[in-house]
Amino acid sequence: MVFAGINYLAVVIAAVVGLAAGAIWYRAFGTVWMAALGRTRADVTPKPGPYVVAGIAQLLMAYMLAGVLGHLGEVNVQNGIVGAAFIWLGFVATSIAVNDSFQGARVTLTLIDAGHWLVVLTLMGAVLGAFGA
């Protein structure tokens, strides 16, 4: 399932891994995350819309990461993880920090959300690297 240099099976698997990582991450940090948001469990009852957006976003993120990694050189697990971590540091962590700073969010919220994306991106990078995507 490789088209135009991108392994689409790897992209789908990376997206599923990202979704699973998010579920595990927020299950572990959910109570602290809600407190940092100033919300209760009743305030964040699951609705299908955000999950659909998350699924589409994870697919797009995995596809874009595969494309970027392919342009950086050899695609292997190590380069996938390192490339993903650099992308996280340069774009994701900084964006979250700026947004949260202007919104007056607690540092705890920034750390939980940024940490989530670090885990997701590095896992995606590892999956894509393993497939040579």
pLDDT of residue 73: 87
Degrees to nearest 5, angle at CA 93 with 107 and 73: 160
pLDDT of residue 36: 94
pTM summary value: 0.92
pLDDT of residue 42: 82
Identify the burial level of 58 via C-beta atoms within 10 angstroms of its C-beta, where 0-12 means exposed, 13-18 middle and 19 or more buried: buried
pLDDT of residue 5: 80
Encoded tokens for 35: 């407190």
pLDDT of residue 2: 55
Tell me the mean pLDDT per 10 residues along the chain, length 133.
79 98 96 92 83 96 95 93 97 98 96 98 98 88
Q: Partners of 6 in the beta sheet?
A: 3
pLDDT of residue 60: 97
pLDDT of residue 1: 56
Delimit the domains of the chain by residue range: 2-131
The one-letter amino acid at 43: D
CB 2 within 8 A of CB 132: no
